[in-house]
Structure 1
Amino acid sequence: MIAVVHQTEAVVCNLLSLSPCLGPALFFTPPPGMCCGRLREQLPCLCEYVRNVNYGQLLSSSGPRRVVQACGVVVPNCYRK
């Protein structure tokens, strides 16, 4: 019997890592691959970001939501409000 164990690294929540998504969110342009990749990396952190008093409302606006959809990312319920 052989067991395969997948080890995953812990995600470090860093909102600034999503900076490649800022232009597309503000100007409604297609998100680049780097944006989508970073968004997927930070997916476990989205609830934390949205619940933050300082920038949660901004992240819940239509621009960021459009970028998430354009990247094909399935978001947790906390982000769907």
Structure 2
Amino acid sequence: MKISYVTLCIMLTVLLAKTELSMEITCNALQLSACANAIISSNPPSAICCSKLKEQKPCLCQYLKDPNLKKFVNSPNAIKVSDACGSPFPIC
């Protein structure tokens, strides 16, 4: 019984890992516009902002390389919004 349970757990882990890897992330900085109000005004971020921020989190290091986006993405308020959303800023 333990062997089949362990085997099942391993299979589920492999399937979930493959599913996670197969999802493509489309980096689109405009998706972060939902957070503009929270970043500019220091208001709490909306649920939509947090959702978009979590979707775009893998792209944040790429955005930091763009001089036009760096000011927006790397501002103290943007980092506060990221923390408030429970999605700490990645270390690039």
Instruction: Please give the range of the TM-score, normalised by the shorter of the 2 chains.
Output: 0.7 to 0.9
**Higher relative contact order, chain-length normalized (CA < 8 Å, sep 6+):** 1
Structure 2: which 5+ residue stretches go unaligned?
1-6
Deviations 1:12-68 (A, max 9, x none): 000111111000000110000110011111110010011212221332111211111
Q: Which moved more, 1:26-35 or 1:49-58?
A: 49-58
**Secondary structure of residue in 2 paired with 1:16:** helix
Q: Which moved more, 1:15-24 or 1:59-68?
A: 59-68
Question: Matches of 1:57 and 1:17 in 2, distance apart?
Answer: 16
Aligned-residue sequence identity (percent) comes to: 33
Question: Matches of 2:88 and 2:75 in 1, distance apart?
Answer: 17
Structure 1: which 5+ residue stretches go unaligned?
none
Bigger radius of gyration among the two = 2
CA RMSD of aligned residues (A): 1.3
The structure whose residues are more often helix, as a share, is: 2
- Specify the alignment match of 1:28 in structure 2: 42
- Deviating beyond 4 angstroms after TM superposition, the runs of 4 or more aligned structure 1 residues are none
